[in-house]
């Protein structure tokens, strides 16, 4: 478990990480998503003890780690592995040499290193490439080598800073699936920094949205994707905002534009047809989507309801009563 208590960081008088508190449970995959410059990399560098804190405290499994002396700090950092967008592999070493490096650093003998590297390469499905130079690998293969290297000393935590941003969508998926399967197999807490909602939806259990150094929203992926509260969350989740703006310009009295969020139960029910039959309302569909989050369908519809204020309120109350969350965008 990783606990952040009110951590902050300033650069040149600018607050880049602002009073962040967060608890990341054991064996979860936790996403941190935000726009460029939001402070994500700074936050993950603080979490991985590469960057000092201006305020606050960090705990790994209830043990305070942000104030350790040099030697204890480097021992503590062995509990974590990191992977990055640009892989950061040694081009002078081949695949075997890269994965062996962290084992050499901690003084393992040759036999142990050989055995461990071969286990790791098997885990990332690169056993046949052990003697390849790094330059002969694809991006996805390079990231697999980086994952194997990060896991060499059996860390408890894996930190990934935009680890799939340089990969195409198909390769991104396969790398994410690999990380998930490793977590399932060996147990690992994974923190993933990304600006891609697809990454969060593919792999994460929980997500926090970071904006201007602050956590503005967090929860399970299902909660945040299904029922976003902030504008920035909606921007990440939805491409519907431009459609809504167009729609809002044409709104007349006696109508309301609403975004409806359906959970996995309500998404399969004929809720709208019931509404139209039983209330004096007309409905225009402005946009809609069904997303799959952790294999569960979540629906989102932006609708324009036309009818009297009384009927509108009755209709919305009905929708809420059958488990649909209604967000009134304008009326």
Ligand X SMILES: Nc1ncnc2c1ncn2[C@@H]1O[C@H](COP(=O)(O)OP(=O)(O)OP(=O)(O)O)[C@@H](O)[C@H]1O
Q: Which residues bind ligand X (CB under 6 A)?
A: 11, 16, 34, 36-42, 195
Give me the least distance between CB of 213 and ligand X, in Å please: 7
- Closest CB to ligand X among residues 43, 121: 43
d(CA 298, CA 291): 5
Give the range of 41-49, 115-123, 166-174, 282-290 binding Mg ion by CB under 5 A: 41-49
Assign 320 to helix, strand or coil.
helix
Nearest to 147 by CA among 201, 183, 112: 183
Task: List Cα–Cα distances, 85 to 34, 64, 89, 160, in angstroms.
Answer: 16, 29, 11, 8
Q: Which does residue 34 bind out of ligand X, Mg ion, none, counting CB within 5 to 8 angstroms by kind?
A: ligand X
Residue the block writes with tokens 């300033």: 10
Our finding on whether 194 is near Mg ion (CB under 5 A) is: no
Alpha-carbon dihedral of residues 297, 300, 301, 302, nearest 10 degrees? -170
Assign 244 to helix, strand or coil.
helix
- Closest CB to ligand X among residues 15, 93: 15
Q: Which does residue 187 bind out of ligand X, Mg ion, none, counting CB within 5 to 8 angstroms by kind?
A: none
Give me the least distance between CB of 160 and ligand X, in Å please: 12
- Closest CB to Mg ion among residues 4, 117: 4
Give me the least distance between CB of 195 and Mg ion, in Å please: 8
d(CA 37, CA 229): 22
Q: Which does residue 77 bind out of ligand X, Mg ion, none, counting CB within 5 to 8 angstroms by kind?
A: none
Let me know how long the chain is: 331
Count of CB atoms situated within 10 Å of the CB of 161: 21
- Closest CB to Mg ion among residues 41, 98: 41
- Closest CB to ligand X among residues 36, 62: 36
Give me the least distance between CB of 162 and ligand X, in Å please: 6
Q: Are 7 and 19 in contact (CB under 8 A)?
A: yes
Give the range of 40-48, 180-188, 254-262, 301-309 binding Mg ion by CB under 5 A: 40-48
Our finding on whether 41 is near Mg ion (CB under 5 A) is: yes
Q: Which does residue 36 bind out of ligand X, Mg ion, none, counting CB within 5 to 8 angstroms by kind?
A: ligand X
Q: Which does residue 315 bind out of Mg ion, ligand X, none, counting CB within 5 to 8 angstroms by kind?
A: none
- Closest CB to ligand X among residues 42, 255: 42
Report the number of secondary-structure helices (H) and strands (E) in the chain. Answer: 12, 14
Give me the least distance between CB of 234 and Mg ion, in Å please: 22
Give me the least distance between CB of 327 and Mg ion, in Å please: 31
Give me the least distance between CB of 44 and ligand X, in Å please: 8
Give me the least distance between CB of 31 and Mg ion, in Å please: 14
Nearest to 28 by CA among 200, 162, 161, 256: 200
Q: Which does residue 78 bind out of ligand X, Mg ion, none, counting CB within 5 to 8 angstroms by kind?
A: none
- Closest CB to ligand X among residues 16, 267: 16
Angle at alpha carbon of residue 205, lines to 158 and 230, rounded to 5°: 110
Which residue sits closest to Mg ion, CB atoms considered?
Answer: 41
Q: Which does residue 238 bind out of Mg ion, ligand X, none, counting CB within 5 to 8 angstroms by kind?
A: none
- Closest CB to ligand X among residues 39, 226: 39
Give the 3-state DSSP-derived string for 145-201, with helices as H, strands as E and coil as C: HHHHHHCCCCCCEEEEECCCCCCCHHHHHHHHHHHHHHHHHHCCEEEEEECCHHHHH
d(CA 164, CA 172): 5
Q: For binding to Mg ion (CB under 5 A), which residues are involved? A: 41
């Amino acid at each position: 478990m990783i606990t952040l208590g009110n951590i902050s960081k300033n650069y040149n008088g600018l607050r880049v990480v602002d009073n962040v508190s967060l608890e990341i449970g054991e064996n979860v995959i936790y996403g941190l998503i935000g726009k460029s410059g939001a402070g994500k990399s700074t936050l993950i560098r603080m979490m991985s003890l590469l960057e000092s804190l201006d305020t606050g405290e960090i705990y790994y499994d209830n043990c305070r780690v942000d104030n350790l002396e040099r030697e204890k700090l480097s021992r503590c950092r062995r509990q974590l592995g990191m992977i990055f967008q640009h892989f950061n592999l040694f081009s002078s070493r081949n695949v075997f040499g890269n994965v062996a490096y962290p084992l050499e650093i901690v003084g393992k003998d040759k036999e142990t290193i050989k055995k461990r590297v071969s286990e790791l390469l098997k885990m990332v499905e690169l056993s046949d490439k052990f003697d390849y130079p790094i330059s002969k690998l694809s991006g996805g293969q390079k990231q697999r080598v980086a994952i194997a290297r990060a896991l060499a000393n059996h860390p408890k935590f894996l930190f990934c800073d935009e680890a799939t941003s340089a990969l195409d969508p198909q390769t991104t998926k396969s790398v994410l699936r690999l990380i998930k399967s490793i977590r399932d197999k060996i147990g690992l807490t994974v923190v993933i920094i990304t600006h891609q909602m697809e990454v969060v939806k593919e792999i994460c259990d929980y997500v926090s949205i970071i904006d201007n150094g602050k956590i503005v929203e967090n929860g399970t992926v299902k909660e945040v994707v299904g029922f976003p509260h902030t504008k920035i969350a909606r921007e990440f989740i939805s491409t519907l905002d431009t459609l809504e703006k167009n729609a809002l310009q044409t709104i007349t009295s006696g109508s309301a534009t609403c975004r409806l969020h359906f959970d996995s139960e309500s998404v399969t029910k004929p809720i709208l047809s019931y509404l139209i039959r039983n209330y004096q309302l007309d409905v225009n569909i402005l946009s809609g989507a069904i997303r799959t989050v952790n294999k569960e369908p979540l629906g989102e519809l932006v609708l324009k309801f036309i009818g009297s204020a009384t009927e509108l309120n009755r209709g919305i109350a009905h929708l809420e009563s059958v488990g649909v969350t209604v967000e009134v965008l304008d009326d």
